[in-house]
Chains A and B, each alone.
Chain A
Amino acid sequence: MSMVDELLALGDRIVGRAQNGEQIEAIVVNERDTEVRVYDGDVEQFTSATSQGIGIRVIKDQRQGFAWAGTLDPDIIDSTLAEARDNATFGSVDPDLALAEPDGVPMADLDLYDDSVANYSTEDKIALALEVEAIAKAGDPRVVVVEATDFADSISEAAVVTTTGIRVGGRESGSYVSAVVIAGGDDETQIGFGYSVDRDPAKLDREKAATMAVERSVRLLGAQKPQTGRFTVVLDPMVTAQFIGIIGSTLSGESVLKQRSLFADRLGEQVAAASLTLVDDPTDPRAFTAGEADGEGLATRRNLLIDGGVLSTFVHNSYTGRRLGGASTGNAVRGFTSTPGVGTIALSLAPGQRQQAEMIADIDDGVLIQGVSGLHSGVNPVSGDFSTGADGLRICNGELAEPLREFTIGSTLQRMLLDVIEVGADLEWLPSSAAGLSLVIGDVTVSGA
Chain B
Amino acid sequence: MIDQSLLTRTLEEATKRGGGFAEVFVEDRLSSGAHLDDDRIEELSSGRSRGAGIRVIIGESTGFAHTADLSEQGLATAARAAGDAARGGTGGVTTVELIAQQAHAPNQIGVFPSEVAKARKVELLELANDAARGAGPAIAQVSVGYGDVRRQIQIANSDGLLIGDDQVKTRFSVSCVAQGDAGMQTGRESIGHSFGFEMFDRYDVTDIARTAAERAITKLSARPAPSGAVTTVIGKGGGGVLFHEACGHGLEADLVAKSATVFAGRIGEQVASPLVTLIDDGTMGGEWGCFAIDDEGRPAQRNVLIEDGVLLDFMWDELRARAEGRPSSGNGRRQSYKHLPMVRMTNTYIANGETAPDDIISDTDSGIFVSQLGGGQVNTVTGDFVFGMTEAYLIENGEITEPIREGNLIGNGPEVLMSIDALGNDFAMGSPGTCGKDCQGVPVGDGTPTLRVPSLTVGGTAA
Contacts and interface: CB of A to CB of B under 8 A. Distances in A.
Interface residues on A, range: 35 or more
A65 B35 CA distance: 11
A21 B258 CA distance: 60
A145 B119 CA distance: 56
A50 B138 CA distance: 49
Given A70-B68, A387-B459, A408 B41 contact: no
Nearest to A411: B461
B140 A259 contact: yes
A253 interface: no
A377 B141 contact: no
B44 A377 contact: no
Interface residues of B, number: 79
A358 to B, nearest CB: 29
Contacts, number: 261
A388 B375 CA distance: 12
Given A145-B259, A447-B459, A378 B68 contact: no
Contacts of A44: 60-62
A71 B37 contact: no
Contacts of A338: 45
A374 to B, nearest CB: 3
Contacts of B85: 46-48, 122
A407 interface: yes
By secondary structure, the B interface counts as strand
Given A46-B85, A374-B386, A90 B457 contact: no
Interface of B: 34, 37-51, 60-68, 81, 85-87, 118-119, 122, 140-141, 143, 177, 179, 183-186, 219, 225, 227-229, 258-260, 262, 338, 340, 373-377, 379, 381-382, 384-388, 405-408, 410-412, 457-463
A95 B184 CA distance: 29
B337 to A, nearest CB: 9
Contact of B259 (A69, A144, A228, A373): A144
6 contacts: A45-B340, A70-B48, A190-B381, A257-B38, A259-B179, A377-B377
A308 to B, nearest CB: 25
Contacts of A410: 225, 227, 407-408, 459-461
Given A70-B68, A377-B386, A408-B386, A262 B461 contact: no
Contacts of B43: 64-66, 87-88, 91, 339
Interface in A371-391: 373-374, 376-378, 380, 382-385, 387-389
Contact of B338 (A49, A84, A406): A49
Contact of A189 (B37, B229, B381, B385): B381
A46 B34 contact: no
B186 A45 contact: no
B375 A376 contact: yes
A221 B90 CA distance: 44
Interface of A: 39, 42-52, 64-71, 73, 76, 79-80, 83-84, 86-88, 90-92, 94, 122, 144-145, 147-148, 182, 188-191, 225, 228-230, 257-260, 262, 337-339, 373-374, 376-378, 380, 382-385, 387-389, 405-412, 445, 447-449
A52 B68 CA distance: 8
B387 to A, nearest CB: 6
A191 B408 contact: no
B48 A68 contact: yes
Contacts of B405: 383, 385
B412 A447 contact: no
Contacts of B406: 378, 380, 383, 385, 387
Contacts of A66: 43-46
A447 B457 contact: yes
A73 to B, nearest CB: 8
A90 B118 contact: yes
A259 B387 contact: no
Contacts of B44: 65-66, 87-88, 90-91
A71 B28 CA distance: 12
Contacts of B64: 45-49
A37 to B, nearest CB: 9
B119 to A, nearest CB: 7
A49 B47 CA distance: 20
A408 B87 contact: no
A383 B381 CA distance: 33
B87 A377 contact: no
A73 B87 CA distance: 32
